[in-house]
Chain A
């Protein structure tokens, strides 16, 4: 049985519209105008128990709205949702005993208290025995390496430390499903990696299913086996992360600086030169890892002169989505199922909003 089953989920918001300036304010007071915003526009997917599922998309794509519906925070406008056998907005409290949530931008730890006090309060909230809470805190303190932080008021913790405590707090009642909304927002690379490692570890150790949203493709890459990409409230991709990597995370962008000036007409085999800077010291180029392996490009660049600096970048999420739309066209109608389809359910593929010529 699936842990989460979502079918044709929709959510519209009414947004107030107001023209600029004093006259606009007065007009809006007299007769408010509303725009409807389709935040979620027909999303459907399933998630297996114990799965690590990534949910990514640019800001405003509808991923947070979806997760909020799954937890019972928001009522949907239409659609069917089943989370662990509950309809979230009807059985919010029953469901809450079985899920853990972390909203990266909404801390749940009490700011002025040490984290352990919030843990104890959560014990009461989830109706756990004091002895159970103590044992659980003990176990989580080790798993998240937060034992030394538990007695410090939360306001004095660094963001990364605080986020480890946040995730630990959400696991206190041993939920079967963990919903993480942007857990790595604002964290530095090291802190991000620590959070990811711990989540992966707990997934393996306790079998807790994890649904994770992020606008950082890196989170998904290192954590999840399967990924759903949403854009404009629709699913544009639902498949294995490895497939995504093979198909769309292939074009790399490189920027190098040389100690000496490169000659005009400078080329590197297997890459496309995007730009040669003034004086020929800096060069921007792009290549496809399917055709040219990274090490070959690096070797050729190094051979061309004395390297002073070099950065390699992945394509941004927006570029990936654009690439998905482009490759999706020939496949349209070929979507043959839920998780295994290279491109998600038909509706999402046809006309990407704003992408049509």
Chain B
């Protein structure tokens, strides 16, 4: 059962790659461009820590790790489940019709039907900086892979949740764009900056902590309780996202509803 779906997913990813290969130059430009983009962005933190040394116990090395894990997690989502960034528009525009007429799980099919190869640049950036700067052995790489995948799961689940609101709101692309923005922004800052309500929000409503700081901490020091917390959060969020999406599917209008201007 699961193996059949995996085979299907592989076929889908292959088709995505084939489509990208129709535009090879663009593919390379996106991958390399995204790596440079991240590197320049990170340079801002180099300047910051050059001046201030550390802030709330965080140093440049912690930021390297945070950026590496978050970029890899986000990159994996963008490459493997690229439609997670555009699903609200797919829903509102009646784009689910195609997936609904085919005998495969709708959500996975929608999400994986598009690969954003900028994300591959994110993954390359993450893996490279981790390898070069974080002084890592094989077991560290295993922790890194685990942390990044869990970061991806949280990101995908949260975005599915937000984008599914399109079933109720009609259009949720603004909200979704803002949510991606907010999630990534918060994920890329030291969690120690926030306390009280702010911290609580980042572990719940806007689970940026589980995209950035928590996986990064797990990569640094693996402990079973920390792993259980992150994995638990990731799968709880995923379960919630699945429920909401399938609830929403019952209300799907397939672009058939007429908007009446009075």
Touch between chains A and B, by CB atoms below 8 Å: yes
Contact between chains at A124 and B103 (CB < 8 Å): no
* Segment with Cβ contacts to B, from A42-50, A88-96, A243-251: A88-96
B12 A121 Cβ-Cβ under 8 A: yes
Q: How far is the CA of A124 from the CA of B250 in the complex (A)?
A: 27
Asked if B256 and A39 make an inter-chain contact with CB atoms under 8 angstroms apart, the answer reads: yes
Given A18-B261, A121-B15, A124-B7: A65 and B98 interface contact (C-beta under 8 Å): no
B142 within 8 Å of A by Cβ?
A: no
Main secondary structure, interface of B, reads: loop
Q: Is the CB of B103 within 8 A of A75?
A: no
CB closest residue in chain A, given B96: A73
Q: Which of A261-315 contact B (CB under 8 A)?
A: none
Asked if B253 contacts A13 (CB within 8 A), the reply is yes
Interface contact B97-A113, CB-CB below 8 Å:
no
Most buried by A among B4, B103, B260: B103
> Does B170 reach chain A (CB closer than 8 Å)?
yes
Contact A106 B253 (CB under 8 A): no
User: Does B254 lie at the interface of the complex (its beta carbon under 8 Å from any beta carbon of A)?
Assistant: yes
Shortest distance in angstroms between B14's beta carbon and chain A's nearest beta carbon? 8
Contact (Cβ within 8 A) B102 A64:
no
Structural contact, B258 and A110, CB atoms closer than 8 A: no
> Does B11 reach chain A (CB closer than 8 Å)?
yes
Structural contact, B256 and A35, CB atoms closer than 8 A? no
B94–A112 touching, CB < 8 Å: no
Number of contacts between A and B (CB, 8 Å)?
98
CB–CB A97/B97 < 8 A = no
- Cβ contact within 8 Å between B252 and A93: no
Restricting to A23-81, which residues have a CB under 8 Å from any CB of B? 35, 37, 39, 60, 64-65, 68, 71-75
- Whether the Cβ atoms of B19 and A15 lie closer than 8 Å is no
Number of interface residues of B (CB under 8 A): 35
In the complex the two chains form, is B103's CB within 8 Å of A37's CB? no
A117 x B15 contact (CB < 8 A):
yes
Bound-state Cα–Cα, A39 to B23, Å:
43
**A206 on interface, CB distance cutoff 8 Å:** no
Q: Which residues of A contact B56 (CB under 8 A)?
A: none
Contact at B100–A16, with CB atoms within 8 Å?
no
Question: Given known contacts A110-B19, A125-B8, A127-B4, is B257 in contact with A73 (CB within 8 Å)?
Answer: no
- Residues of B within 8 Å of A13, CB to CB, are 253, 256-258
List residues of chain B with CB within 8 A of the CB of A64. 256
Q: Are A92 and B100 in contact (CB under 8 A)?
A: yes
Q: What residues of A have a CB within 8 angstroms of the CB of B97 in the complex?
A: 68, 73, 103, 106
Q: Which of B22, B249, B254, B260 contacts A68 (CB 8 A)?
A: B254
What 1/0 flags go to A111-135 for Cβ under 8 Å of B? 0110001101100111100000000
Q: B139-150: contact bitstring with A at CB < 8 Å (1 yes, 0 no)?
A: 000000000000
Dominant SS among interface residues on chain A: mixed
CB distance from B229 to the nearest CB of A (A): 35
Does B259 lie at the interface of the complex (its beta carbon under 8 Å from any beta carbon of A)? yes
> Contacts A18-B262, A113-B15, A113-B19 given: A75-B100 contact, CB under 8 Å?
no
Closest to B109 in A: A125
- Which residues in chain B, 70-125, are within 8 Å of chain A measured between CB atoms? 94-98, 100-105
Q: Looking across the interface, which residue of chain B has its beta carbon closest to that of A15?
A: B260
Contact partner of B98 among A14, A74, A106, A124, CB < 8 A?
Answer: A106
Closest A residue to B12 by beta carbon equals A121
Question: Which residues of A are found within 8 Å of B252, using beta-carbon distances?
Answer: 73-75
Q: Are A124 and B258 in contact (CB under 8 A)?
A: no
B residues near A72, Cβ cutoff 8 Å: 100-101
Question: Which residue of chain B lies nearest to A40 when distances are taken between CB atoms in the complex?
Answer: B256
- Ranked 6 nearest A-B pairs via Cβ: A96-B103, A124-B11, A13-B257, A101-B101, A73-B100, A112-B19
Can you sample 8 A-B contacts with CB below 8 Å? A15-B258, A39-B257, A74-B252, A75-B249, A75-B250, A99-B101, A124-B7, A125-B11
Chain B interface (Cβ < 8 Å from any Cβ of A): 4, 7-8, 11-12, 15, 18-19, 22-23, 94-98, 100-105, 170, 249-254, 256-262
16 new A-B contacts, CB < 8 A, other than A35-B260, A96-B102, are A13-B253, A13-B258, A16-B170, A17-B260, A18-B262, A37-B257, A72-B100, A97-B103, A103-B97, A103-B98, A106-B98, A113-B22, A117-B18, A125-B11, A127-B103, A153-B22
